[in-house]
Amino acid sequence: MTAPTGIIPGAVFGAIGALAAFPLRLAAREVERQHGQLRRGVTRRTTHVVFGRTLLAKAGLAKAGDAEIERRVAAERAAGRTLLSENGFLRLLGLIKAPEASSLSRKSLIDQSKLPGADLDLLSLFDAFEHDGEPYSFRDLILARKYAGLVAGGASWGAIARSVHRSGPVASLTAKSLNVGSQHGRPDAIYLEGGQSELDGQLLFDLGSAAGDDTLEDLFAEAESAEEQGDHEQAAALYQRCLAIDPSDAIAAFNRANCLRGAGRAAEAAHDYARAIKLDPAFVEAWFNLAGLMSEQGKVPSARRHLQKAITLDRTYADPVFNLARLEFDAGNLLEARRNWMRYLELDADSEWARMAARGIQFVDLQMTRTAG
């Protein structure tokens, strides 16, 4: 039986890392044709997260290594989003053929192979198996046993994933012997046939050898890195280059606005928040951040409108509810502040912000009692 293909209309895909198969913009066109959206990065509206295999090569060169990938995977899984490997994503779109029918569950594969579950999940997410999730095939079980042996020999899941893609279709490895390169002084490499041939961990796509030949995905990743390091000016410049290549990228506009705000360039930040909203009117974080910027500048009516829009777009988003309550309180609208704090407590009852909301309600009630007296 062939797995069903086609996305759920309205699904919002967020891509982390570039795809190995072809440029992200081509995948975005197909997703749009199927009535969904594909964006770089992740927002509150993101329902599915696609992990491109280029992350493997970049992690192999980065100081943080595979730990950053593990952190990101854990965060997106905890947020309740559906995680997809690159091949899983392409199969969902109907762009590549699904593998043959399979019947092994995740638990069965772990029990029979002794491969740690966490490694199985990460290797699956980066297409080191024939299937990207359960049910797995018998060939997947053979691969899992080989990978378990490599892990026992000291190999990391990342080293395995980087290496196996060097040899072509991963199913072809079922008939080959794999060995950890530690005995050859290369703990980060996997060898075929007793060390006679090394799988050097490079993926089967051109990562680009010319320094000036940046792709859009490379620029976006560089911009994200600069933003994470607090280099707001550099990040803003890089996001601007992304927008020059793809003017329709709402997330690049939003991220640039955040960086400009961090650099103290408020007017330019407001312009780019507005640009992000124009490109994606349902971009709730852009409405929320623009409201914050307006509030900082004392533009209360504008801040109020933007917060109300954010709340309308996402009824589960607690932050704009809290900020609207605080804005109304500062404006002297105590009953409206109380109403919003009550709404906030329906969304968040346990955090420090919830305790602040509860104290705000108590204060308003006390003021109302005094007034009534």
Domains in the chain, start-ordered, CATH in brackets?
12-93 (3.40.50.10190), 106-199 (no CATH)
Residues 104 and 115: their CA atoms lie apart, in Å, by: 14
With tokens 């060995």, the residue in question is: 179
One-letter identity of residue 294: M
Residues 83 and 13: their CA atoms lie apart, in Å, by: 10
Candidates 89, 107, 97, 117; CA nearest to 28 is 89
CB atoms within 10 A of CB 221: 21
What phi, psi does 47 have (nearest 5°)? Answer: -105, -30
Contact yes or no for 24/15 (Cβ under 8 A): yes
Q: Show the tokens assigned to 77.
A: 């899984």
Burial class from Cβ neighbours inside 10 Å (0-12, 13-18, 19+) for residue 91 reads: buried
Predicted confidence at residue 189, as pLDDT, reads: 60
Q: Which residues pair with 82 in a beta bridge?
A: 48
**What is the torsional sign of CA 160, 86, 165, 18?**
negative
Predicted confidence at residue 25, as pLDDT, reads: 83
CB neighbours of 54 closer than 8 A, spacing ≥ 6?
17, 18, 19, 20, 203, 205, 207, 217
DSSP 8-state code for residue 42: -
pLDDT digits (tens), the chain, 373 positions: 344 467 788 899 999 988 888 888 888 889 999 999 999 999 999 999 999 998 888 776 666 678 989 999 999 999 999 999 999 999 999 888 888 878 899 999 999 999 999 999 999 999 999 999 999 999 999 999 999 998 988 888 998 888 887 766 776 676 566 665 544 445 556 655 544 444 543 333 333 333 333 478 888 988 988 998 999 999 999 999 999 999 999 999 999 999 999 999 999 999 999 999 999 999 999 999 999 999 999 999 999 999 999 999 999 999 999 999 999 999 999 999 999 999 999 999 999 999 999 999 999 999 888 776 5
Predicted confidence at residue 367, as pLDDT, reads: 87
